[in-house]
Amino acid sequence: MTPIRHAEVVVPARDEQAHIPACLHSLQRSMSVLRAGAPGVSCGVTVVLNRCTDDTAEIVGAFDVHVLTSAAGRIGAVRRSGVAAAISRARRAGVEPDALWIACTDADTVVPGDWLRRQVEFADSGQDAVIGTVTPADLSPQLYQRWLRDHDLSEGHDHVHGANLGFRADVYLRAGGFPDVESQEDVGLVDRIRDSTPRWIATHQTSVLTSGRSESRVSGGFGSYIADLDAEAAQ
């Protein structure tokens, strides 16, 4: 198993001026932890601006990150373009896909300090993919209990979230990458990764905190699910 030499976080963002500062600050902390624990592993962040009409671009510009602009709209295409850019940049730096770790999160998500370090540790122990959990923020107690009812947060869980996902770039390429779809791109990719390798882990050890808003940026996204829970609670 080739040791990881570089870890790149890919973050799609669409009108996220309220949330992305906290996201990027948390990624800075997580990269600092990785650098301290694994000085031989470099790391960075790629933000893909997806049809933003607010101040997201200006906010992102104040951070030391790579920035792409996409007009695709479809979240699958947006994530795909970010990963492609990260792979190309790594190759130019002499890092081949088998030594490149791609970590995915969302602009409305805050990751813990050890998030990247744990993913790289899983990779170097032989895992090709790490499938993490999320906890929604700012839900009412009633809504949060309904959410817990539907979510197994134990090791070996069966959930898939684009806000908490990581994989070796060569495995990603063999799986065909993120499908160019408007939603469920994370599920589509993970299904193909699972078909291509037995070396993956579904874990709660890398759990992240994501927005509990009910207004989804994509049709059928996590916000749509929260909206459905809210409607159920109101009945």
Question: pLDDT tens digits, residue range 3-62?
Answer: 999 999 999 999 999 999 999 999 999 999 999 999 999 999 999 999 999 999 999 999
- pLDDT per position as a tens digit, 153-166: 999 999 999 999 99
Per-residue pLDDT at 29 = 99
Per-residue pLDDT at 152 = 86
Q: What share of the chain is helix, strand, coil (3-state, %, to 5)?
A: 40, 20, 40
Higher pLDDT, 55 or 223: 55
Mean pLDDT within 185-212: 97
Per-residue pLDDT at 224 = 58
Mean pLDDT within 181-194: 98
Mean pLDDT within 127-138: 95
Q: Is the pLDDT of residue 184 over 70?
A: yes
Please give the structure tokens belonging to residue 57. 């671009």
Cβ neighbours, 10 Å, residue 151 = 15
- pLDDT per position as a tens digit, 108-124: 999 999 999 999 999 99
Total-model pTM = 0.92
Q: Is the pLDDT of residue 228 over 80?
A: no
At 107, the pLDDT band (50, 70, 90 cuts) reads very high
Cβ neighbours, 10 Å, residue 154 = 10
Tell which residue, 7, 46, 54, has the closest CA to residue 30.
Answer: 7
Domains in the chain: ranges and CATH: 6-140+152-213 (3.90.550.10)
Q: Any alpha helices (H) in the chain, and if so which ranges?
A: 20-37, 56-60, 75-92, 115-124, 141-149, 169-174, 185-196, 222-234
Rounded Cα gap, residues 48 and 165, in angstroms: 16
Rounded Cα gap, residues 104 and 188, in angstroms: 14
